[in-house]
Each structure stands twice: as structure tokens, then as C-alpha cells.
Amino acid sequence: MGLHSNLAETDLNMGKYDQALNYLMRALELRRSSGDKRRGAIESYSIGGLFEDQGRYGAAVASKEEALTTFRTLRDRSFWMGEILSGYGHALAEGGSRRRVHEDPGRGHEPGSRT
């Protein structure tokens, strides 16, 4: 599973987006089939980053939102939650959804929040 992600990163660095997406989709499929929701969400986030690099903001937002939803469900407050919140907000802003940026990303995750 990590191999696919590493190969995808290499392909991204070389501008081979289609091949990188294939590797990331395979990594996501393997994470899901193994029941690893957390790492599957990280793969979804990575897919969103690829879409964002391509200027496909609607697809980027959808992938990053999927990752955010999973992390909220898992109540994960690790480094990745902050990264995903930031990346989701960035994708919304880049895609022209500035209103949603202010309404949604941090919902339930303010300092001291228990949700």
C-alpha cells in the first residue's frame, strides 16, 4: 500500500498525473479493503491534492471533504486533521467557494471543542 503512494508521489513530481492517479486509486482501494479508514482518508486527501494541482477544484474539494468527514467520524485530532482542514479550505478557496470556507472547515474543531 505504501509502495503505491510512494510511486504516485514520484510520478506527481515528474508531472505524470494519470499514472500518479492510478497509483493513488489503487492505494485507496487497498486501504479500504483492509479496513484502514484513517489511511484511506489520507489517500483521499492525496488524490484531492493531485486534482488541485491539475486545477480540478470540484474534484479536489470532493476528495478532501471525504477525508475530512472520515477524520471527523474517527475523532482523529492528529497532525493530519489540521492538514486536511487546511487543505480542504484551500481547495474551496481556489475553487471560488469562499463562503463555504468561512462556514464549514473548522466546524466542531475550535479549541476546547469536544466534537
Q: What is the CATH number of domain 2-103?
A: 1.25.40.10
Q: Dump the DSSP string for 31-84.
A: HHHHT-HHHHHHHHHHHHHHHHHTT-HHHHHHHHHHHHHHHHHHT--SHHHHHH
**Distance (Å, whole) CA 24 – CA 33:** 14
Cα–Cα distance, 70 to 100 (Å, whole number)? 19
The pTM of this model reads 0.81
Residue 27 is classified by DSSP as H
pLDDT digits (tens, 9 = 90+) for 15-45: 999 999 999 999 999 999 999 999 999 999 9
Instruction: Quick: pLDDT tens for 75-97.
Output: 999 999 999 999 999 999 998 86
Name residue, grid cell 508521489: 9
* 44-67 per-position pLDDT tens digit: 999 999 999 999 999 999 999 999
For the chain, the domains span 2-103
